[in-house]
Chain A
Amino acid sequence: MDTNDELAEALGVFMEEARELLAQMEEILLREEAGGGSEEDLPALFRCAHTIKGSAGMFGFDEVVRFTHVVENVLDRLRNGAIGFSRQLVGVLLDCQDHIAGLVSTIAEGGTPDIARSDELIAELRAWTAADDAAGAAAPRQLPAESAVRVAASGGGGTGSDYWHLSLRFAPGILAEGMDPMCFINYLGTCGRIVHVETITDHLPTLDEADPELCHIGFEVALDSPAGKEEIERVFQFVAENSHIVILPPHSKATEFIGLIESLDEDSARLGEILVACGTLTPQELDTALRAQQQSRQDTPPRLGAILVDSGMVAPAVVGAAIEKQQRNEEKRRSETKSLKVPSERLDALIDRVGELVIAGAGTHAQAVKIQRRDLQESASLLLSLVEDIRDMALRLRMVAIGEVFSRFPRVVRDVSRELGKDIELRISGAEAELDKSMVEKVGDPLMHLIRNSMDHGIEAAEVRAASGKPVRGTVALNACHESGAIIIEVADDGGGLDADRILKKAIEKGIVAEGANLSTQEIYQLILAPGFSTAETVTNLSGRGVGMDVVKNNVEALRGTLDIDSVPGQGTTIRLCLPLTLAIIDGFHVGVGSTHFIVPLDMVVECVELPTGLDHFDYMEQRGEALPFVRLRQLFGEHGPAHIRPRVVIVRFAGKRAGLVVDRIYGKCQTVIKPLGPLFEQVPCVSGSTILGDGEVALIIDVAQLIQGVVTRNWQATHGGTARGATALAA
């Protein structure tokens, strides 16, 4: 891989990361706006902007850096509590977040960033940054005041029986630099009580060698002080670097530090950071130790802990506690990052191969059955069941939580409710329900339409709600759950419900249904899915143009799903999407009509019965006291091969409706890898795809959803019968 490729790849990672961070920002901002923010939110928010800025800088995206820097400043002030959240600020920050996203994608695509917009937003942010200067100027003044208080407090003397121990070895040239060691010791007295000073004269040269301008003496000082290590270190801030100053905390402090280490937030993974955070090590000491580590000439540089203990900067017990803490943090981090990112095309390739493997395995098994070799059959079955396991696992790799789609809706609901001037809350449940990644990508747009529709047409204006005794705040609920191999997604509102009379009147006006048609309430509700239908009295920016619901319906059907509408006048409307979990491989139920093979998705098969005799001219039968409509596949697909004397009925169910499929033979369960029919046959009704059976035969996969719809409404025979017959010609 050359550098350019690496850069391009890194850029991809950056884009992905930026997208995630921006999504996180949005989530937090919305939470803050709703008043549900937590303590970790503000640092997290800051970190998002900070990280984006940092990585953008690495790629030279200067405009992103420039703009994000301002946002980061505001977030920093929020984090420090210098400013608070307001509705207005959240609004501006959300705009900023959008703008950063825009900048990142524009620049990554090689476009010119919208600098004017940046400046506009920066100007808006100024309201929150300008005050910063005043506060910032005030900040340093607080610092000495605080230390003055501490000095005063220490004046009374500490009560502990053990003391700080300071070991001072000044650089010989210190005097020439204008520093007097005695001054430092005197000044140390402002931090606490100097209990004892021992002068170390070991390095004092003989009189004739002595240079009076050099400092040869060292000091060991016992200090009784409540001050922190950093404060004591500050006394020696001007001492030249080649002086050797060691500050050892009292024994009682060691246990205090260990306690502090235990109570630290679980986020630093570096030993030095942990020690600095608990106060036993000062940043400057850490710097020195790290430099010593870097400058070490050994092949394996000494460990930081060893350096710290050897140089006496930190007590061994404290280092031990910190190392333990570090390991725990690392473990935690490792368990957090157990997920991998894999390009989806690799997964697709894997699933494709696994699909072929399933077919080959089934073929081997069929051969073993044919030649009646028991041992071979057994090993072939074992192989097949293992391959099936692998298939399930491979498919699960593609499964993602529907929450990925849901997460974008809180923002939509917020923006739309503002636009509409309605107070609407979004409730999400079942976000953890999983479905195939490809489905997740496609289900977003239909859901968006449905939610907007619910908000615009479903939820009434506040005064109407109040008048009918409902809470003024409307609710749109988004629920997801699994049901027999499918995922059900509901968009429910607590609005006014559908007005069947008005819908019917409108439909007649638009010529969608004939006047005087006798329709059930359900059928009337379905009319809102018809192309060109809209009952909204005013066309709003969002919906009401009569496009939308039919597009939603088409999208859902393209995913082999169905769409149901339920409504209670005055209480609300629920729109239910029922979608298959995956589009790639299914468990199939293999049946035969004449010489043609068909596959019915097994999830939808309820049971199999024999077709009662004497029903030749009927298209429904009685089953457990209920009428069951059925369809003869022989007729539907124009099959002329030899008929079976005792046809069977495969009873299928989809979206709460049942129907029977009359077939000649039942072969049983089989693994079905769905192969698309190709553009030429995509329009063939009642067939959703094809597959290759173990023996190499082609079988058509029956589109149960469409078929049930047809059986229930009995409208396919007139419109699609001819083409459906064409499909069998192709299969044969």
Chain B
Amino acid sequence: MSKTVMIVDDSASIRQVVSITLHGAGYEVIEACDGKDALTKLGGQRVHLVISDVNMPNMDGITFVRELKKLGSYKFTPVIMLTTEAADEKKRDGQAAGAKAWVVKPFAPQQMLSAVSQLIM
């Protein structure tokens, strides 16, 4: 059974690259353009991993993760945050919200793939 990954990012190009990479590796991908959109699209369906940007309109990544962790069905779902190296503060916020894994922007698709496979292989 292929596993499902959700990518939450306001940049369409990033969503696209991540989708292509993960599809290529055999994952199902759900795309969402911000936290709010993501929560709506999830709607209780099974997701193995969530990748989320931090800076997004409507609902930022940190709030999104905090909300996600409140939902029983996603309590154990691993989250990868996308951070910029300069934003150490943000990284800590993300960890506090429940996102223990991160990938530093800008990243290469391969890097993203290896992070994903570490968590849901």
Would you call A145 and B100 a contact (CB within 8 A)? no
Say whether B75 faces chain A, with CB atoms less than 8 Å apart: yes
> Which B residues touch A238, using CB under 8 A?
100-102, 115, 118-119
Q: A140-B108, A144-B110 are in contact. Are A177 and B100 (CB under 8 A)?
A: yes
Docked-complex contact B118 and A237, CB < 8 angstroms? yes
Identify the stretch in A58-66, A182-190, A629-637, A672-680 within 8 Å (CB) of chain B at 4 or more residues. Answer: A182-190
**Chain B neighbourhood of A180, CB < 8 A:** 78, 119-120
A178 interface contact, C-beta 8 A: yes
CA distance A184 to B77 in the complex (A): 15
CA distance A238 to B78 in the complex (A): 10
Contact A183 B110 (CB under 8 A): no
Q: Are A144 and B120 touching (Cβ within 8 A)?
A: no
The answer for the CA separation of A178 and B71 in the assembled complex, in Å, is 13
CA–CA, A482 and B82, complex, Å: 70
Is the CB–CB distance between A145 and B118 below 8 Å?
no
Q: For residue A498, give the distance in angstroms from its CB to the closest CB of chain B.
A: 67
**With an 8 A cutoff between CB atoms, is B87 at the interface?**
no
Does A334 count as interface, using CB distance less than 8 angstroms? no
Residues of B within 8 A of A369 (CB): none
Given A183-B119, A183-B121, decide whether A141 and B76 contact each other with a Cβ distance below 8 A: no
Give the complex CA separation of A190 and B114 in angstroms: 10
Docked-complex contact A183 and B118, CB < 8 angstroms: yes
Judge whether B119 and A240 touch: CB under 8 Å: no
Whether B111 lies near A143 (C-beta < 8 A) is yes
B34 to A: closest C-beta gap in Å: 21
Which chain A positions have C-beta within 8 A of B110? Answer: 141, 144-145, 148
Complex CA gap A177/B101 in Å reads 9
For the complex, give the distance between the alpha carbons of A143 and B115 in Å. Answer: 13
Query: For the complex, what is the distance from the CA of A358 to the CA of B70, rounded to whole Å?
Result: 91
Chain B 65-80 near chain A by CB (<8 Å), digits 1 or 0: 0000000000111110
A187–B118 contact, CB under 8 A? Answer: yes
B61 in the interface (beta carbon within 8 A): no
In the complex, B35 has a CB within 8 A of chain A: no
B117 at interface by CB-CB < 8 Å: yes
A371 interface hit (Cβ, 8 Å) = no
A137 interface residue (CB < 8 Å to B): yes
Question: For A145, A183, A187, A238, which residue has the most chain B Cβ atoms within 10 angstroms?
Answer: A238
With a CB–CB cut-off of 8 A, which chain A residues contact B102?
238
| Chain B 38-58: CB-based contact to A (< 8 A → 1; otherwise 0) | 000000000001000000000
Residues of A contacting B113 with CB < 8 Å?
Answer: 144
A177 to B75, CA, bound (A): 8
Contact status B98-A178, CB under 8 Å: yes
* CA distance in complex: A178, B120 (Å): 9
Pairwise interchain contact B108-A144, C-beta atoms closer than 8 A: yes
A186 touches B121 (CB 8 A): yes
Chain A CB within 8 A of B106 CB? yes
Q: How far is the CA of A226 from the CA of B79 in the complex (A)?
A: 30
Interface of B is mostly: mixed
Q: Are A144 and B121 in contact (CB under 8 A)?
A: no
Instruction: Check A514 for interface membership: any CB of B closer than 8 A.
Output: no
Q: A residues within 8 A CB of B100?
A: 177-179, 238, 240
Known: A143-B111, A144-B111, A238-B100. A178 touches B118 (CB 8 A): no
B-chain residues with CB within 8 Å of residue A143 when the two chains form the complex: 108, 111
CA of A143 to CA of B102, assembled, Å: 17
Please state if A187 and B117 are interface contacts (CB–CB under 8 Å). yes
A340 at the interface (CB under 8 A from B): no
Q: How far is the CA of A235 from the CA of B119 in the complex (A)?
A: 10
Q: B97 → chain A, closest Cβ, in Å?
A: 11
| A179 pairs with B75, CB closer than 8 A | no
Partner of A178, one of B79, B106, B108, B111: B79
CA distance A140 to B118 in the complex (A): 19
CB distance from A437 to the nearest CB of B (A): 50
Q: Does B78 lie within 8 Å of A140, measured CB to CB?
A: no
Which among A137, A178, A235, A238 has the greatest number of chain B C-beta atoms within 10 A? Answer: A178
Q: With A176-B75, A177-B78, A178-B79 in contact, do A184 and B111 touch (Cβ < 8 Å)? A: no
- A139-177 contacts to B, CB under 8 A, are 140-141, 143-145, 147-148, 175-177
Bound-complex Cα distance A294 to B42 (A): 46
Complex CA gap A238/B115 in Å reads 9
Q: Which residues of chain B are near A190, meaning CB under 8 Å?
A: 117
Of B79, B101, B114, the contact of A144 (CB 8 Å cutoff) = B114
A137 and B106 contact, CB distance less than 8 A: yes
Chain A residues with CB under 8 A of B115: 238
Residues 6-65 of B contacting A (Cβ, < 8 Å): 49
> How many angstroms between the C-alpha atoms of A100 and B120 in the bound complex?
53
* A137, A175, A187: the one within 8 Å of B76 (CB): A175
Q: Are A179 and B108 interface neighbours, CB within 8 A?
A: no
Contacts of B111 in A (CB 8 A): 140, 143-144
Given the contacts A183-B119, A187-B118, A140 and B75 also touching, CB distance less than 8 Å: no
**Residues of the B chain whose Cβ atoms lie less than 8 Å from the Cβ of A140:** 106-108, 111
What are the residues of chain B within 8 A of A240 when measuring CB–CB? 100
Question: Given the complex, which residues of A lie within 8 Å of B117, measured CB to CB?
Answer: 187, 190
Taken together as a complex, chains A and B put the C-alpha atoms of A140 and B119 apart, in Å, by 21
| CB atoms of A178 and B121 under 8 A apart | no
Let me know if B120 and A176 touch, CB within 8 A: no
Residues of B within 8 A of A213 (CB): 76
- Tell me if B114 and A176 are in contact (CB < 8 A): no
Instruction: Kindly report which residue of chain A lies nearest to residue B98, judged by CB atoms.
Output: A177
**Known contacts A178-B100, A180-B120, then 5 further A-B pairs from the complex at CB < 8 Å, ordered by chain A residue:** A140-B108, A141-B110, A176-B76, A179-B100, A183-B118
Pairs A–B under 8 Å by Cβ, sample size 26: A137-B106, A140-B107, A143-B111, A144-B108, A144-B113, A148-B110, A175-B76, A176-B76, A177-B98, A177-B100, A178-B49, A178-B78, A178-B98, A178-B100, A178-B101, A180-B119, A180-B120, A187-B117, A187-B121, A190-B117, A237-B101, A237-B118, A238-B100, A238-B101, A238-B102, A240-B100
- Residues on A lying within 8 angstroms of B by beta carbon are 137, 140-141, 143-145, 147-148, 175-180, 183-184, 186-187, 190, 213, 235, 237-238, 240
